[in-house]
Structure 1
Amino acid sequence: MNINTATKPHERLAATLTEDLAAANTLIRARMASEHAPRIPEVTAHLVEAGGKRLRPMLTLAAARMCGYDGPYHIHLAATVEFIHTATLLHDDVVDESGQRRGRPTANLLWDNKSSVLVGDYLFARSFQLMVETGSLRVLDILANAAATIAEGEVLQLTAAQNLATDEEIYLKIVRGKTAALFSAATEVGGVIAGAPAEQIQALYDYGDALGIAFQIADDLLDYQGDSAATGKNVGDDFRERKLTLPVIKSVARATPEERAFWVRTIEKGQQSEGDLDTALSLMAKYDTLEETRADAVAWTDKARAALTRLPDHPIRRMLDDLSDYVVSRLL
């Protein structure tokens, strides 16, 4: 794609980073190969080639370039980030018993749970091999911490997902774990590999953290008011799967005893019937929690943009600024 014909911020960023992304894709394909188990590249390719935006590896490449890096290892780190992301998606779909992702059948549906879990494990192992090749212990530390935080966030979600005592603070911990940890690690390691000063590395971390949180809040909101053709999810999937996301948490916090009983029945006990989604949406409308959730996403976007002001002026910085806006422009 030519940068002049790209319209969305992530497309403009991809056009700017065309050569780096091509090199990362070549490395990803080479490292997802397996001499002895052909199912590994089959399962991996199903996700890796599914037409995702490659947002996380793009953030690594963008951060490294913005900080003036001209070595080869940002490519390794971009591939590492994509492998960690793909591994978590494979594991997530098994945990959530999902049948669809990005509008396509999930790997666990096409193959089986065992294949998804084991291929995810293989990709985690591959990601660590790639990290080691950079020769940077600090990079290894950041990405290993991110991998542990992601797993921690998923386990926390498992225990908190259907518990009405889950509040906004716990929700933020879950989001920081399952989504923002990889965004912030992706941007931070780009600065580290480029040898950027400490204050710039911190700014990159802060940008990735805030962007990741805004991204997840926006995703949770789109579940209740998005276009299923655009999101690849049916409206209300999170409700049907009994996930306590921010719009519901805000509604539960203000619920009357009668409304709370509704949330207990549908979310905690999972006893859902015809019309319950409409009731849930009417309660969200009553307390304006969808609009409040959108305002939270915008506030995190503002934090991401503020972090960028601490970084060198660069065309990529302006694209990352536009990318922050794009995360919430999907909600308008």
Structure 2
Amino acid sequence: MDHLSLIKQPIFGELDDFVSLFNQSLSHDDGMLAQVLTHIRQRGGKRMRPMLILLMAKNFGRVSGTTLHAAVGLELLHTASLVHDDVVDESSERRGQASVNALYDNKVSVLVGDFILSTALLYVSKTHSEAIVRRLSELGRTLSDGEILQLTNIQNKEITEEAYYEIIRRKTAALFEACAAIGAESAGARHEDVEAAKQFGQNLGIIFQIRDDIFDYYDSKEIGKPTGNDMLEGKLTLPVIHALNATCDADMLAIARKVKVREVSQAEIDRLVAFTKANGGIEYADQQMWSFHADCMRFIDERVEDSAIKMALKAYLDFVIERKS
């Protein structure tokens, strides 16, 4: 059985309930808005974050209406952030399909993103849980804070792992962290279990981002982005950060600073990618990823009793590490 099938096995019916409720939340009768929401709804995705919420809820109790409304609220918040991110990044594609701003324009994208964000607040209010509403609100602030931190980091001449981890904790990891914590909270888990789930989610999110960053050093149609794409967007990720700090190569540091201010050529990016590979950057990032994996496994071994959920969470970890896109 493949990883995704194992992940879904203990929550199969609950996942169907989530998809129905989520599709309902992205439906509208009015002309253009209905068209845009249909476009967004059709690109779906693997539902990795909602599945984490459902698995955590089932681990600590059961999937309830509170769980489902919280999952829809969080997925809507994430969807709104992606619509807005495409405007900020001037992206023309999202998950292999045209982005909203490419199909329409930035004005429509911003307004639709705002509509989805408001819908997220409506659905999370249906949980009638102050703790979940607060956690989702904090997530929205953290995601925006992470985007701003990434923009301001361009001006920072220091190239450090600390800055890298701080950005990904506030962006990618924050989403997984909130999913795990909200899932546990929706099932009435004890405070210490919620905190443990939250840390599991953060570690899982960091693994997800490091894997995503490693992709950038290999040209593959399966991955769907060219080599050095992150650098082209002004981002320095863990592999190159390690290689730079391990060697203190002045020429490569100069190119890296050009990356940060987006004044770098493709030829210079190619040199930096080759330098990273030659100086252990990929191996180091891979080691760090497996270190966070070990932390996740401790949570599964210590706080997950049901064999099907244990298997599903292990499959979730395997999927995040072994995925090809």
Asked if Structure 1 and Structure 2 have the same fold, meaning a TM-score greater than 0.5 normalized by the shorter chain, the answer is: yes
Give the whole-Å Cα distance in 2 for the aligned partners of 1:210 and 1:70: 23
Partner of 1:184: 177
- 1:257-296 superposed matches below 5 A: 257-265=250-258, 267-296=259-288
- 1:105-144 superposed matches below 5 A: 105-144=98-137
> Aligned to 1:275, what secondary structure does the other structure show?
helix
1:307 to 299, 310, 321: 299
1:226 positional shift: 5.8
- 1:215-230 superposed matches below 5 A: 215-225=208-218, 227-229=220-222
- Contact 1:214 1:300 survives alignment (8 Å): yes
What amino acid sits opposite 1:275 in the alignment? A
> Aligned to 1:291, what secondary structure does the other structure show?
helix
- 1:127-276 superposed matches below 5 A: 127-161=120-154, 163-225=156-218, 227-229=220-222, 231-253=223-245, 254-265=247-258, 267-276=259-268
- Contact 2:236 2:256 survives alignment (8 Å): no
Residues 1:153 and 1:269: Cα distance change in structure 2 (over 3 Å):
closer
Partner of 2:46: 53
Give the whole-Å Cα distance in 2 for the aligned partners of 1:245 and 1:86: 24
Give the whole-Å Cα distance in 2 for the aligned partners of 1:281 and 1:303: 29
Partner of 1:63: 56
- Contact 1:162 1:242 survives alignment (8 Å): no
Give the whole-Å Cα distance in 2 for the aligned partners of 1:212 and 1:157: 17
- Contact 2:235 2:260 survives alignment (8 Å): no
Give the whole-Å Cα distance in 1 for the aligned partners of 2:282 and 2:63: 44
Give the whole-Å Cα distance in 2 for the aligned partners of 1:297 and 1:70: 30
Give the whole-Å Cα distance in 2 for the aligned partners of 1:158 and 1:46: 29
- Contact 2:240 2:273 survives alignment (8 Å): no
Residues 1:285 and 1:78: Cα distance change in structure 2 (over 3 Å):
same
Residues 1:247 and 1:162: Cα distance change in structure 2 (over 3 Å):
farther
1:28 correspondence with 2:22: yes
Give the whole-Å Cα distance in 2 for the aligned partners of 1:271 and 1:77: 42
What amino acid sits opposite 1:30 in the alignment? Q
Give the whole-Å Cα distance in 1 for the aligned partners of 2:286 and 2:82: 25
Residues 1:295 and 1:30: Cα distance change in structure 2 (over 3 Å):
same
What amino acid sits opposite 2:11 in the alignment? L
1:54 positional shift: 0.5
Give the whole-Å Cα distance in 2 for the aligned partners of 1:57 and 1:70: 12
What amino acid sits opposite 1:66 in the alignment? N
Q: How many residues align?
A: 322
- Contact 2:161 2:241 survives alignment (8 Å): yes
- Contact 2:49 2:75 survives alignment (8 Å): yes
What amino acid sits opposite 2:315 in the alignment? D
Give the whole-Å Cα distance in 2 for the aligned partners of 1:274 and 1:64: 46
Give the whole-Å Cα distance in 2 for the aligned partners of 1:220 and 1:150: 18
Calculate percent identity across the aligned residue pairs: 33
1:202 positional shift: 1.6
Residues 1:251 and 1:113: Cα distance change in structure 2 (over 3 Å):
farther
What amino acid sits opposite 1:28 in the alignment? F
Give the whole-Å Cα distance in 1 for the aligned partners of 2:92 and 2:155: 20
- Contact 1:214 1:328 survives alignment (8 Å): yes
- Contact 2:168 2:206 survives alignment (8 Å): yes
RMSD of aligned residue pairs (Cα, Å): 2.0
1:163 positional shift: 4.2
1:189 positional shift: 1.0
- Contact 2:54 2:63 survives alignment (8 Å): no
Provide structure 1 residue ranges, at least 5 long, that are not aligned to the other structure: 1-5
Q: What is the TM-score normalised by the length of structure 1?
A: 0.90
Give the whole-Å Cα distance in 2 for the aligned partners of 1:11 and 1:162: 44
1:292 positional shift: 0.7
Partner of 2:12: 18
Q: What is the TM-score normalised by the length of structure 2?
A: 0.92
Give the whole-Å Cα distance in 2 for the aligned partners of 1:191 and 1:70: 10
- Contact 2:164 2:238 survives alignment (8 Å): yes
- Contact 1:168 1:249 survives alignment (8 Å): yes
Partner of 1:3: none
Partner of 1:7: 2
Residues 1:255 and 1:132: Cα distance change in structure 2 (over 3 Å):
same
Output one character per residue of 1:75-113: Cα deviation in whole Å (capped at 9) or x when no partner: 111111210111111111111111222222222111111
